[in-house]
A = this chain, B = another copy of it.
Amino acid sequence: MKIYKGHLLFTPRRTAFEVIENGYVAVKDGRIVGVSSRLSDLANSNAEVVDLGDRLLIPAMCDMHVHAPQYRNQGMCMDLELLTWLNAYTFPEEEKFADMAYAERIYRRFVRDLWRNGTMRAAVFATIHADSTRLLMHLFEAAGMGAMVGKVDMDRNCPEALCETVDEAVAANELLAAAFNDPEALVRPIITPRFIPSCTPAMLQACGRLAREYGLPVQSHLSENRAEIALVHELEPQSESYGDAYNRYGLFGQTPTLMAHCVYSSDEEIELMRRNGVMAVHCPTSNLNIASGMSPVRTLLDCGVRVSLGSDISGGHDLSMFRVMVYALQVSKMLSVTQGVQPQLTLPEVFWCATKSAGSFFGQVGSFEPGYEFDALVIDDSELNFDHYTLLERLERFIYLGDDRHIVHRYCRGQEIAEPPLRF
User: Which A residues have a C-beta under 8 Å from some C-beta of B?
Assistant: 72, 74-76, 78-79, 105, 109, 288-294, 317-318, 326, 329-330, 333-334, 336-338, 344, 346, 384, 386-387, 389, 393, 396-397, 399-401, 403
Per the bound structure, the CA–CA distance linking A384 and B400 in Å amounts to 22
- A–B Cβ pairs within 8 angstroms, 29 of them: A72-B387, A74-B397, A74-B400, A75-B384, A75-B396, A75-B399, A75-B400, A75-B401, A76-B393, A76-B400, A78-B329, A79-B344, A105-B386, A288-B333, A289-B330, A291-B333, A291-B334, A291-B336, A291-B337, A291-B344, A292-B337, A293-B334, A293-B338, A294-B338, A317-B400, A317-B401, A318-B401, A334-B334, A338-B338
Residues in B neighbouring A386, C-beta threshold 8 A: 105, 109
Taking a contact as CB atoms under 8 Å apart, the answer to whether A288 and B334 are in contact is: yes
Taking a contact as CB atoms under 8 Å apart, the answer to whether B79 and A346 are in contact is: yes
Per the bound structure, the CA–CA distance linking A290 and B344 in Å amounts to 11
Residues in B neighbouring A289, C-beta threshold 8 A: 329-330, 333
Taking a contact as CB atoms under 8 Å apart, the answer to whether A288 and B76 are in contact is: no
Known: A105-B386, A318-B401; 17 extra A-B contacts, CB below 8 A, are A74-B397, A74-B400, A74-B401, A75-B384, A75-B396, A76-B396, A76-B400, A79-B344, A288-B333, A291-B333, A291-B336, A293-B338, A294-B334, A317-B326, A317-B400, A317-B401, A338-B338
Residues in B neighbouring A76, C-beta threshold 8 A: 389, 393, 396-397, 400
Residues in B neighbouring A333, C-beta threshold 8 A: 288-291
Residues in B neighbouring A399, C-beta threshold 8 A: 75
